[in-house]
Structure 1
Amino acid sequence: MLDRLEHALRARPELPAVLTTGRGGAPRVRATRGELAEQADAYAAALHARGLRAGDTVGVAVRPGPRALAVLLALWRLGLRGAVLDPCVGPEVLRARLARARPALVLADAAAQAVAGWAAAPARRARLELPDLAALGGPVATVGRRLPWCAPALERDAPRTGVPARFDGDGDAVIVFTSGTTSRPRAVVHTRASLAAGMESVSALFTGARPGEPVLGGTFFVLVPSLTRGAPVALPARSARVLARQLDRLRPRDTYLTPPQLRDALAAGARLGGRVWTGSAPAGAGLLNRVRDAGADEAWGVYALTELFPAAAVESREKAAFTGSGDLVGTPLPGVRAERDAAGQLLLAGPAARDRYLGEERDAWVRTGDRARLDGAGRIVLEGRCKDMVLRRAQNIYPGLYEPSLHVPGVELGVLVGVPAGDGDERLVAVVQPQRGVPEPALRAALSGPLRRMGTARPDALVFADVPLAGRSRKPDRAAASKLAAAALYQGKGGTR
C-alpha cells in the first residue's frame, strides 16, 4: 500500500493531503499531496547520499503528521528500518532503547531536540524528556525547520540521481518498543510484509472512504489507507473544545479517535456523524452508545495490539446486545487466527502479525497477555489481563520499567498498580512502603525527582502503605495492592502529584 500511496500522491499533486485546524475549527491545508511526495523524495535522496542502504536502522523522533509520514515513505523506498523513539518515556528508558536499536542515524525534529536541550525544564513539566541525542555517540540530523539549538539539517538538496526508485523485497520495516527493562528493552519488529498487511486490513475496514471526503485521525494506519484512496486526512485537534468544533466544521465520513479523545470530545459537546472507530484502549458499550447518541451512524470498537493491528472489531449494536460475561471485542478480521493456550491466554496469528521481538527468534503466534474465550460464533471475549501492564488513556505502561525508580533511600518496597477509573481506563498509582522510622514528607521529597523522570508513566497518585505480599516467595500481590490503592484514593488518603 505504501507503494500505491506514492503513485496516488503524484497522480493529483494539487489536492490537499493533510489538514489541521484553523480558527474556529475550520480546516486548513497543512500539506498537499504533491508537497508530501516531494518531501519524501528529498528525504530519500538525503539518506541515500549519507550512505544509508537497505537494512540499516534509522531512529525517528518526529511528531506525527505529514513530515513523519514523508520520513516513513523515504525509509520504505530505500528498504531502511525505522526505530520509533518516543520522547515521553523518560531519559533512562529511551537511552536503553537507543542502545538496543543502534541506529546509524537519528532523525529528530526541533521539538524533540528542544526537549533534550534548552526546553528541558518546561518539557519535563509537560512530561516530555529526552537524553541529549548527540551525546549518545550516534549522528543526529534535523528534519523540518532547523532552529539554533538543533543538530545539522538533513540535506534537502541532495542529488536525486542514483536514488533507487523502490526497494524490491521484504525485510524489517519498523521497530516499536513496548516493554522490557532498561537493561533489556523489548521491541516489536514488523517486516515490510506484516506492515503492509496491517494497512490492508485497515483499508478493508474503511471501505466507505471516498476521494475528496475527509477522514479524521492521526495514526499511520489511518493516514496511509485514506490518502491512498484519495481522501484527505485531518489531524485531530489536541483541545477537546477545538476538536468538537473541528468535527462540526469538517463532518468527516470516517473518524478514528482513542477512547480518551472521544470522552473528552463528548464532554465538550461534540456532534458526530458517519462512522466512528476507536481503539488503543478498551471501549465499553456505554462509550460506543454515547458516540451513536451524539449522531454517529456507526460506532466501532477496534481490538488491536502493537504486535497485530487490527485484530478484531465490533459495532456498538452488537456489543450492546452481548449479555455474557467479559468484554466482547468482535470477530477476528479476515486472515487473523485466534486460539487460547492452556492458561486461557489469547493467541493471535496472521499476515499482519509482527515478525518477532528484537533479538528473539521468530514466532508465528502473538501472546496477547489477555485472558479470553471464543464464543459459539467465534467472537473474541476478553476476560482480563494476564500481565501486569496498566492501560491509562490509551497508553500501555509496564510497571517493570519504572518500579526500580521508586526504591530511593528510605523506601522498603514500591510497586506501580492500576486502579479502575471507569469505562476500561485505569489510574496509575505508586504504592510505597516506607522503612520504619522514615517520615513521609522526607520520602515524598526524595521521590519527586524519580517520579518526574518517569515522563508519561508518572503516577496519578502516591500512596504510602505496606505493600501486600503473597505466595511462598512473598512477592508483591498486585491485585491486593490495587485494591488497597483504590480504597486509599476513594477515601481521599492518596497523595496526588
Structure 2
Amino acid sequence: MLDRLDHALRSRPERPAVLTATRTGAPRVRATRGELAEQSDAFAAALHARGLRAGDTVGVAVRPGPRALAVLLALWRLGLRGAVLDPGAGADVLRARLALARPSLVLADAAAQAVAGWARPLARRARLALPDLAGLGPVATVGRRLPGCAPALDLAAPRTGVPVLGDHDGDAVIVFTSGTTSLPRAVVHTRSSLAAGMASVGSLFDAHGEEPVLGGTFFVLVPALTRGAPVALPAREPRALARQLDRLRPQDTYLTPPQLRDALAVRARFHGRVWTGSAPASAELLERVRGAGADRAWGVYALTELFPAAAVESREKSAFEGPGDLVGAPLPGVLAKPDADGQLLLAGAAARDRYLGEEPDAWIRTGDRARLDGAGRIVLEGRVKDMVLRRAENIYPGLYEPALQIPGVELAVLVGVPAGDGDERLVAVVQPQRGAAEPALRSALSGPLRRMGTARPDALLFARIPLSGRSRKPDRAATAALAARRLGPVLPEVPHR
C-alpha cells in the first residue's frame, strides 16, 4: 500500500493531503499531496547520501503528521528499518531501546529533542564526529532546528541514483511495547506484515473521493490518502475538536476512547462512521457516540503485534448478553484460538514477524484471556496479568467490567487491593460521567454487582480513574493504589438489596 500511496500522491499533487483545524474548527491545509511526495524524495536522497542502505536501522522521534509520514515513505523506498522512539519514555528507557535497536542514525524533530533531553549529549558527540557513539548512533534534526538541537538533515542532497527497493521483503519497522531499561522489548514488522495491516484497515475505512477522514495514526493516514481522501489531524483540546467535527463533517473518524469521552463531555456531534481502539471501548460509550450523531460506531480490537484483529459495531456489542467483552469476529486473514490456559493466540498476514532479538513465531500471545463464542467471535475475559486472587479464587476483571458500564458510568475497573495476609480484596472503582449523581449510580449498580456472584467486589469506590500511556488506558496499578489509600485497611462492604 505504501507503494500505491507514493504513486497516488504524485498523480494529483495539487490536492490537499493533511489538514489541521483553526481555532474556529475550519480546516487548514497542512500539506498537499505533492508536498508530501516532494518531502519524501528529499528525505530519501538525504539518507542515501549519508550512506544508509537497505537493511540499516533509522531511529525516528518525529511527531505524527506530514513530516513523519514523509520519513516513513523515504524509509520504505530505501528498504530501511525504522525504530519508533517515544521521547516521553524517559532518558534511561530511551537509551536502552537505542542500544537494542542500534540505529545508524536517529531522526528527531525539535520538539522530541526538547522533551527527551537525551538528544543533547548524543548531538554533542555527533558534532565531535567520534567513531563510536556507544551503539546509539548520531542524531539529525528534521524540520525546524532550534538552538541546542542536533545538526539538520541535509535535504539539498542530489536525488540522482537514489534507489527504489521495490517488492523485496524485509524488516520495515520496530515498535517498542514494554520492558525495562535492562530488558526492553520491541515488535518487528516486515514490509509484508505492515502492508497487510494497512490494507486491512483500508478495507474497514473504505475512504473514497474527496470527503475527509479524521484521525492521526499511520494506519489511518496511509489507507485514506491512498484512496484519495484528505486526512485531518484531530485537535487536542476537546472544544476545538468539537468545532472541528462540526465544520469538517468527516466520513470516517478515528479517535481513542478518552478522546471520545472528552468530546462527548462538551457535547460534540459526530458524523458518518466513528472508529475507536487503543484502549477498551464499552458498548455504552459506542452507543453514546451513535446517539451524538454517528451513523455507526465501531470498536476495533488491535495490538501493536497485529493491527487490526477484530471489529464490532455498537448495535452488535450492545445486543451481546454473555459475560466478558465482545470485540467482534476476527477480520479476514486473522486466525484466533485460546491456548490451554485460556490465553488468546492470534496469527495472520498482518502479524508481527518476531520480537527484536528473538526467533520468528507465527502465533502472538496476546496476554488476554478470551473465548470464541458459537459464532466464532472473540470475547475477552480480562488480562492474564490482571487476575485477582481472593480466597483462593482466580478472578479476571475483564470478565465482569463490561457489566458495570451502565448509563452514567464513564469508566469502571476492578482491581485487587492487598489485604495484608497474602490475600486480596476486590474493589470496583467507578468514574461517573459529568453530572451523574453518585447515590443514583450506587443504586443502579446494585443489580450488576449482585449478578457477579462469587466475584462480587468487596467495596465500591467512586473516583477518577488514573490513565497512563499514549493511548491513555486505565492504569490499574495506580487505581489499586488509589483504592488502598481511599479505603484504608478495612474495606466497607458493598451494599446490596
Could you state the TM-score of these two structures normalised by the residue count of structure 1? 0.78
Q: Does 1:134 align with 2:123?
A: yes
Secondary structure (helix, strand or coil) at the match of 1:147 reads coil
Instruction: Name 2:88's counterpart in structure 1.
Output: 88
Aligned partner of 1:111 in structure 2 is: 111
Residue in structure 1 matched with residue 179 of structure 2 by the alignment? 180
Give the corresponding residue for 1:432. none
Aligned residues of 2:77 and 2:163 also touching (Cα < 8 A):
yes
In the other structure, the counterpart of 2:14 is 14
Contact 1:76 1:173 in 2 (8 A): yes
2:317 to 294, 316, 319: 319
Q: Secondary structure at the match of 1:48?
A: helix
Q: Which residue of 2 aligns with 1:300?
A: 298
* 1:131 Cα deviation after fit: 7.1
State the secondary structure of the residue aligned to 2:54. Answer: coil
What do the CA deviations read for 1:41-81 (whole angstroms, capped 9, x no partner)? 00000000000000000000000000000000000000000
Give the match's secondary structure for 1:313: strand
In the aligned structure 1, how far is the partner of 2:342 from the partner of 2:205? 32
* 8 Å contact kept, 2:120–2:148: no
* Change in 2 beyond 3 A, CA 1:274/1:36: same
**Superposed, which structure 2 residues align to 1:327-366 within 5 Å?**
327-366=325-364
Residues 420, 42 of structure 1: CA spacing in aligned structure 2 closer, same or farther, 3 A cutoff?
farther
The letter for the 2-side match of 1:256 is Y
- Cα deviation code 1:17-60 (max 9, x no counterpart): 00001131110000000000000000000000000000000000
Amino acid at match of 1:64: P
Are residues 171 and 484 of structure 1, via their aligned partners in 2, closer, same or farther at CA, if it must alter by over 3 Å?
A: closer
Structure 1 residue 88, shift from structure 2 partner: 1.2
Match in the other structure for 2:379 = 381
Alignment partner, residue 150 of structure 1: 149
In structure 2, the partner of 1:489 is 486
Aligned to 2:204: 205
Query: 1:115 deviation in Å?
Result: 2.2
* Cα offset, 1:179, TM superposition: 1.1
- Tell me which residue corresponds to 1:440: none
Distance 1:335 1:460, change over 3 A: closer
Please list the CA deviations of residues 390-433 of structure 1 after superposition, one character each: whole Å capped at 9, or x if unmatched.
99xxxxxxxxxxxxxxxxxxxxxxxxx9985559xxxxxxxxxx
Name the aligned partner's letter for residue 337 of structure 1: L
Within 5 Å, give how 1:234-253 maps onto structure 2: 234-253=232-251
What letter corresponds to residue 28 of structure 2 in structure 1?
A: R
- CA distance in structure 2 between the aligned counterparts of 1:419 and 1:223, rounded to whole angstroms: 38
Aligned equivalents of 2:267, 2:63: Cα separation in 1: 28
Alignment of 1:408-427 (within 5 A): 420=429, 422=431
CA distance in 2 between partners of 1:67 and 1:282 (Å): 30
Q: Structure 1: how far apart are the matches of 2:209 and 2:299?
A: 25
- Return closer, same or farther for 1:297/1:132 CA change in 2, 3 Å cut-off: farther
2:454 is aligned to none
Q: Aligned partners of 2:9 and 2:339: how far apart in 1?
A: 44
Q: Once the 2 structures are TM-superposed, how far is the Cα of residue 181 of structure 1 from its aligned partner? A: 1.9
| Conserved 8 A contact 1:97-1:185 | yes
Matched residues in 2 for 1:183 and 1:484: separation? 26
Q: Measure the CA separation in 1 of the matches of 2:380 and 2:20.
A: 36
- Cα–Cα, structure 1 residues 175 and 311, in superposed 2: closer, same or farther, change >3 Å? same
Shift of 1:491: 7.2
Contact in 2 for aligned 1:18/1:66 (Cα 8 Å):
yes
Hey, what does 1:57 align to over in structure 2?
Answer: 57
- For 1:282, what is the secondary structure of its paired residue? coil
- Answer whether contact 1:89 1:456 (CA < 8 A) is retained: no
* Compared CA separation, residues 245 and 491, structure 1 to 2 (3 A): farther
- In structure 1, list runs of 5 or more residues that go unmatched: 118-128, 392-416, 424-453, 462-477
Q: Unpaired runs of 5+ in structure 2?
A: 126-132, 388-396, 399-425, 433-467, 491-497
1:231 aligns with 2:220: no
Shift of 1:134: 2.7
State the alpha-carbon separation in 2 of the partners of residues 332 and 460 from structure 1. 25
Q: 1:280 to 1:14 in 2, by over 3 A?
A: same
- Give the secondary-structure state (helix, strand or coil) at the position aligned to 1:304: strand
Q: Contact 1:418/1:482 (CA < 8 Å) preserved in 2? A: no
Q: 1:116 to 1:277 in 2, by over 3 A?
A: closer
The alpha carbon displacement at 1:488 in A equals: 2.6
Cα displacement string for residues 71-116 of structure 1 (whole angstroms, at most 9, x for unaligned residues): 0000000000000000111111111101111100000001111224
Query: Which residue in 1 is equivalent to 2:493?
Result: none
Could you tell me how far 1:6 is from its partner in structure 2? 0.3
CA distance in structure 1 between the aligned counterparts of 2:39 and 2:428, rounded to whole angstroms: 44
Corresponding residue of 1:45: 45
Q: 2: CA distance between counterparts of 1:282 and 1:264?
A: 15
Q: Equivalent pairs: percent with the same residue?
A: 78
Equivalent of 1:288, from 286, 290, 303? 286
User: Secondary structure of the equivalent of 2:307?
Assistant: coil
C-alpha deviation, 1:182, in angstroms:
1.1
Correspondence 1:279 to 2:277: yes
* TM-score w.r.t. length of structure 2: 0.78
SS in structure 2 at match of 1:289: helix
1:150 shift after superposition:
1.5
AA partner of residue 385 (structure 1): R
Q: 1:422 to 1:309 in 2, by over 3 A?
A: farther
Instruction: Let me know the Cα RMSD of the aligned residues.
Output: 2.8
Secondary structure class of the residue paired with 2:197: helix
Q: CA 1:8–1:489 in structure 2 vs 1: closer, same or farther (change >3 Å)? A: farther
Question: Measured at CA, do residues 275 and 482 of structure 1 come closer, stay the same or move farther in structure 2, by a change above 3 Å?
Answer: closer
The one-letter code matched in structure 1 to 2:104 is A
The residue number in structure 2 matching 1:191 is 190
Contact 1:88 1:455 in 2 (8 A): no
Task: Output the amino acid matched with 2:32.
Answer: T
Aligned residues: 409
Quick one: distance in 2 between partners of 1:53 and 1:196? Answer: 21
Decide whether the 8 Å contact of 1:272 with 1:295 is kept in 2: yes
The CA distance in 2 between the partners of 1:280 and 1:115, in whole Å, is 23
- SS of 1:367's equivalent in the other structure is strand
C-alpha distance 491-301 of structure 1, shift in aligned 2 (>3 A): farther
The 1:422–1:370 alpha-carbon spacing in structure 2 relative to 1, beyond 3 Å, is farther
Distance 1:316 1:132, change over 3 A: farther
